[in-house]
Amino acid sequence: MANFICPVLNARLTSPFGWRNIGRGKEWHQGVDLASPIAGLKVPIYASASGEVVWAAPLSTYGNSVRILHKIDGKTYETNYAHLDHMMVSKGQLVKQGQQIGVMGNTGGSFGIHLHFEIHNGRYAVGQPNAVNPMKFISLFNTNQENGDELTMSQYTELKEMITELRKENSDLKKQLENKLDAQKVREPLDCHKDDWKWFKANGITDGTNPQDYVTREQVSTLLHNMDSFNTKKFKK
């Protein structure tokens, strides 16, 4: 999936993609409307991806509009940013992802300050035949628009899939471990191992807290029993 970022910092979705009725009858909304969580400010609008500005002028009910042509992984996309208060780029200019291209406004056929944002899978055309739901490409919760280092929707989806797969693998390993532990028989330390452990504590070799499990005790005790110096010291009496 192409790597797009939300053009508004920590945006609020006010009108989704698809059919809607906002007082003008049923209509097809070929983009999404985004508002800022903080009202009354000159809210910056950012390029959703790197590309070339192919339109930067008023356009019918869009008002002040900027369109950017993108070439991503061999595919062509075009984004549209409408109802801008004013534009900060011009036609033919190359922009980077996260670069400010304008300020949120209320121009054209708009009922309030917001950004109408479109993503086209291919070139923009009258009637918006290539318009796709931007929410399949972007996340509303961005942390650093200008650097473009937010977690995009495509990255979020990929990360979610990875986490799901890791959880599945972890669950399988946990079951295997539980089955293996259930198959083991609980064994008590031999008397000689218990006796050795008491001697370790008495002579300051251990405080008795670690290790205490049977296997470790057995290994330590067996190892020391194979050492002539240990046996001489312990059993000299």
Tens of pLDDT, residues 179-218: 765 655 556 667 777 777 777 778 777 666 655 555 566 6
pLDDT band at 48 (very low <50, low <70, confident <90, very high): very high
Same domain, 40 and 105: yes
Q: Which amino acid makes up residue 119? A: I
Whether the per-residue pLDDT at 64 is higher than 90: the answer is: yes
pLDDT band at 154 (very low <50, low <70, confident <90, very high): low
Same domain, 154 and 196: no
Number of domain units in the chain: 2
Does a structural domain hold residue 178?
no
pLDDT at 227: 64
Same domain, 59 and 147: yes
Range of the domain at 132: 12-158
Nearest to 113 by CA among 36, 218, 16: 36
Residue 136 is part of a domain; what is its CATH number?
Answer: 2.70.70.10
Does a structural domain hold residue 204?
yes
**Rounded distance, CA 133 to CA 17, Å?**
6
Does a structural domain hold residue 131?
yes
Same domain, 118 and 19: yes
Nearest to 84 by CA among 100, 99, 63, 56: 63
Same domain, 19 and 109: yes
Q: Which amino acid makes up residue 235? A: F
Does a structural domain hold residue 167?
no
Same domain, 109 and 196: no
Characterise 38 by phi-psi region: left (phi > 0), alpha (psi -120 to 50), beta (else): beta
pLDDT at 148: 46
More confident residue, 25 or 183: 25
Does a structural domain hold residue 135?
yes
Nearest to 76 by CA among 146, 124, 126, 13: 124
Q: Which amino acid makes up residue 10? A: N
Phi/psi at 39 (5° precision): -85, 155
Give the pair of three-digit tokens for residue 96: 């980077």
Same domain, 89 and 44: yes
DSSP state of 43: -
**Rounded distance, CA 65 to CA 79, Å?**
10
pLDDT at 145: 43
